[in-house]
Amino acid sequence: MIDRIAQLPGLGRPQLPPLPMIRRQQIPEELGRATLLGVALLYLLVLVALPLVIVFVQAFAGGVRSYLAALLDPYALAAMRLTLLTAAIVVPMNLTFGIAAAWAIAKFEFRGKNMLITLIDVPFAVSPVISGLIYVLMFGAQGWLGPWLNEHNIRIIFAVPGIVLATTFVTFPFVARELIPLMQTQGNEEEETALSLGAGGWQTFWLVTLPKIRWGLLYGVLLCNARAMGEFGAVSVVSGHIRGQTNTLPLHIEIMHSDYNYVGAFATASILAMLALVTLVAKALLERRQPELRARAARQAV
């Protein structure tokens, strides 16, 4: 608990005596702070809040009835189902992988550890379109595994497995990235104690490690889920855009928009926006529950 408090920002720093030079410039500093705050707020308002409002305004531009009609359109429903299915497969997979990777990295010393950390970051570093193309090059008819897959009638890209794979690739750092620093700072002592008291490996994990990391884990899962539902670039490359079959919500929005169906596009976009808002609210609730998370969020914000 003590080192948690030490991590909270603002507890260490204000105790330092302010430099006299800064004190003399207090009024300009306050002015500067207000200006900065104003600029930041305006920036957020114009770039984030306003577009979000416009999404909902446009979605209801044709009235509630056409809004509902756009959402109950069979293609829109199919896109929602596919997006939910994809998230339901991808999130548990990345949850498992993320815990395993974070566990290995935080609790053990082994050769190639830095390599593994770098690899986990690869999906953040490459453009999603490239991620999609990787799968086309691997599983496409002209790709490495294409002829074999074709012979055995297995379809990966331009079908649901390809969409799941591409989404998994793009979202797999979220859980691991969230857990690695958390588990590293928590250290091994409690696990070692449990083991020395005779607990098994699984028992130690379920009863000692999991309770320690649960909030960070949930936070990572939320981020992973948000991205999995919103991913456009990688999925667009491997989808094949078959209406009612391989279109996810973001792809459906694009189709509606290029179809001059603006109400449909924005209605579908409002669903995605609401999913994002739910995620944000869940995240805020989590942070309120857990001072450590709030501290981490604050540190990241700085």
Partner 1 sequence: MRSAATLSRRTLTRLLGATLTACTLPGWGESKSAARTSILNVSYDATRELYEAVNPQFAARWLAQSGVQVAILQSHGGSGVQARAIIAGLAADVATLGSAYDVIQLAQQARLIPANWATRLPDNSAPYTSTVVFLVRRGNPKNIRDWDDLVRPGVQVITPNPKSSSGARVNYLAAWAWAQRRPGGSEATAKRYMQQLYQHVPVLDSGARGSTDTFAERGIGDVLIAWESEALLARKKLGLDRVEIVAPSLSMLAEPPVTVVDQNVDRHGTRAVAQAYLEFLYTPVCQQIIAQNFFRPRDPAVQQQFQALFPAVKLVTIDQAFGGWERAQHVHFEDGGVFDQIYGQ
State the nearest-atom distance from the C-beta of 4 to partner 1, in Å: 14
Tell whether residue 240 is a contact of partner 1 (CB under 8 A).
Answer: yes
State the nearest-atom distance from the C-beta of 282 to partner 1, in Å: 9
Tell whether residue 288 is a contact of partner 1 (CB under 8 A).
Answer: no
* Measured CA distances, 237 to 27, 162, 219, 285 (Å): 55, 10, 29, 36
Q: Judge residue 272's burial from the number of C-beta atoms within 10 Å of its C-beta, 0-12 exposed, 13-18 middle, 19 or more buried.
A: buried
Q: Total residues contacting partner 1 (rule CB under 8 A)?
A: 36
| CB of 234 closer than 8 Å to CB of 195 | no
- First-last CA distance in the chain: 23
Tell whether residue 69 is a contact of partner 1 (CB under 8 A).
Answer: no
Tell whether residue 245 is a contact of partner 1 (CB under 8 A).
Answer: yes
Name the residue type at position 30: E
Tell whether residue 202 is a contact of partner 1 (CB under 8 A).
Answer: no
| CB of 219 closer than 8 Å to CB of 241 | no
Please identify, using beta-carbon distances, which residue of 39 and 274 lies nearer to partner 1: 274
Q: Using CA atoms, how far apart are residues 36 and 32, in angstroms rounded to an integer?
A: 6
Please identify, using beta-carbon distances, which residue of 32 and 51 lies nearer to partner 1: 51
Identified binder of partner 1 from the candidate list 7, 60, 93, 146, rule CB under 8 A: 146
Contacts for 26 with CB less than 8 Å, ≥ 6 apart: none
Residues forming the site for partner 1 (CB under 8 A)? 77-78, 81, 84-85, 87-88, 91-92, 136, 139-143, 146, 150, 155, 157-158, 211, 214-215, 218, 221, 240-245, 255, 258-260, 289
